[in-house]
């Protein structure tokens, strides 16, 4: 499969001003993701998508391809990832079988993580694959309740709660590090996930998704450990 590595980053950020070019451990945040993508042997190309000239110049100097400028309407808080990916595919001359979306805000995923995810995606044959983290048992959806008209109900629909932690099925959340989707699903079905979604669990000790200043401090602490 011919897979595009796509790295989106925009200038605006409410939680941390100029987050994507802010230096973490001495280098701009976006550099971590670009380096990991360039080191992944399974990506046919690494393309950077942004509306910001300074970010585009930075990314190009770091080795990513910057063949287009993203329209301003796709760089707002309201713009969705699906539309950003569709724009990239429609702007490129080459055709790709799938897109591997790599968000700058999860800087510590590695080239090996990307290659392993793509290998699993190919093996499973699913419409998409996402990286995940296992949910701690106390937050497992089988132990979560929803309120309806003042009465609590188990969120997963069972009538009886699972009593023993050991009997809980494993549950996962997307960690934001890797998203892989077939091109036909993105363009024809207008879906990021399709009907069948696979998953790969990444190392929780290296995980951070930077959105707030507290997240940034966590990333700095993680970087010292790593």
Per residue in 71-84, pLDDT tens?
989 888 888 899 99
Domains of the chain: 3-132+174-225 (3.90.550.10), 136-170 (no CATH)
pLDDT over 70, % of the chain: 100
Sign of CA dihedral 86, 101, 61, 223: positive
Per-residue pLDDT tens for 125-148? 999 999 999 999 999 999 999 999
Degrees, nearest 5: CA angle 207-23-31: 65
Tokens 């080239």 correspond to what residue?
A: 111
pLDDT at 68 (0 to 100): 96
Q: How sure is the predictor about 226, in pLDDT bands with cuts at 50, 70 and 90? A: confident
pLDDT band with cut points at 50, 70 and 90 for residue 22: very high
Residue 85 has pLDDT above 90, yes or no: yes
State the average pLDDT over residues 182-195: 97
pLDDT > 80? residue 12 = no
Residue 112 has pLDDT above 90, yes or no: yes
Give the whole-angstrom CA distance, residue 126 versus residue 215.
32
Give the three-class secondary structure for 153: strand
Neighbours of 107 (CB within 10 A): 24
Q: Tell me the angle at which helices 29-38 and 53-61 cross, rounded to the nearest 10 degrees.
A: 40
Cα separation of 222 and 226, whole Å? Answer: 6
14 closest CA partner among 105, 144, 128: 105
Place of tokens 């110049």: 57
Residue 100 — pLDDT band, cuts 50, 70, 90? very high
Cα 23 to Cα 34, 208, 220: the distances in Å are 14, 16, 10
Largest CA distance in the chain: 58
The predicted structure's pLDDT at residue 77: 80
The strand pair at 98-101 and 151-154 is best described as unpaired
**For 92, phi and psi rounded to 5 degrees?**
-90, 150
* Cα of 197 vs its chain's centroid, Å: 14
Helices (H) and strands (E) in the chain, counts: 6, 10
């Amino acid at each position: 499969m011919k897979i595009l590595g796509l790295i989106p980053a925009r200038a605006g950020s409410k939680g941390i001003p100029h987050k994507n070019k802010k230096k973490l451990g001495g280098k701009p945040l976006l550099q971590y993701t670009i380096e990991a993508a360039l080191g992944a042997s399974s990506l046919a190309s690494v393309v950077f998508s942004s509306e910001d000239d300074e970010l585009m110049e930075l990314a190009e100097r770091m080795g990513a391809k910057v063949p287009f400028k993203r329209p301003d309407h796709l760089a707002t808080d309201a713009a969705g990832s699906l539309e950003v990916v569709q724009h990239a595919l429609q702007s490129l001359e080459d055709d790709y079988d799938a897109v591997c979306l790599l968000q700058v805000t999860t800087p510590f995923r590695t080239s090996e993580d990307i290659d392993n995810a793509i290998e699993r995606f190919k093996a499973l044959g699913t419409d998409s694959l996402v990286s995940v983290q296992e949910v701690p048992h106390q937050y497992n959806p089988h132990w979560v309740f929803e309120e309806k008209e003042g009465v609590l109900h188990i969120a997963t629909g069972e009538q009886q709660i699972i009593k023993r932690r050991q009997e809980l099925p494993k549950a996962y959340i997307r960690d934001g590090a890797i998203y892989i989707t077939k091109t036909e699903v993105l363009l024809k079905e207008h879906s990021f996930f399709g009907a069948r979604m696979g998953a790969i669990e990444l190392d929780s000790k290296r995980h951070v998704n930077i959105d707030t200043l507290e997240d940034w401090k966590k990333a700095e602490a993680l970087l010292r450990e790593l």
